[in-house]
Amino acid sequence: MLKVDAVFEKLERSAARYRVPSVSQKSLTQGRPFKILIATVISLRTKDAVTGQASRRLFSRASSPSKMAALTEAQIRHLIYPAGFYRNKAVRIRKICRILTEQYEGRVPKTLEELLELPGVGRKTANLVLTEGFGLPGICVDTHVHRIANRWGLVKTKTPEQTEMSLRKILPPKYWIVINRLLVTWGQNVCLPLSPKCSLCQLNKLCPKIGVFRRR
């Protein structure tokens, strides 16, 4: 089993040299948690660079739930294109903004249960809003966190939700908020899905590389 403190200490230092994921960039998410919520919806199945560009275009046109709800679906589609599934996302974004405006006085709810009631919002998005937007406890598990936590042997799970529940039991609370930012950064740049760059990884000697059959 990895020594968690040693791993996160090395990871914090090493990840600083790489670009922060779009949904964690302060230049993009000022005015959080609303911008984190919308940027994360846009980010699903979309490359990080496209997410950043699409989110900035949308926020430059509408920076609040009421302003965004006033846009048409066609306008939102145009602004977030070419994000993956941009048509469906435009529908969801407009519905989310109408709900926030009509039911929450233009504010983003601060509980996991309420966030999960919003259209198209799953546990990954809800936890990211809680942690990055409000600084509240939560573990946001996306494909990178799920993959790397299993490679490290911290968990042995088949789905991101199983990974989240397992990490909640074993991961010290001080790492809950930062784990997504660090592992997404590492997963995008070093610990790739196929042929990870183990020779460049500061954790190379510590990592058991579970399930890794080819590496660089």
Q: Which residues are catalytic?
A: 124, 142
Q: Is 187 left (phi over 0), alpha (psi -120 to 50) or beta?
A: alpha
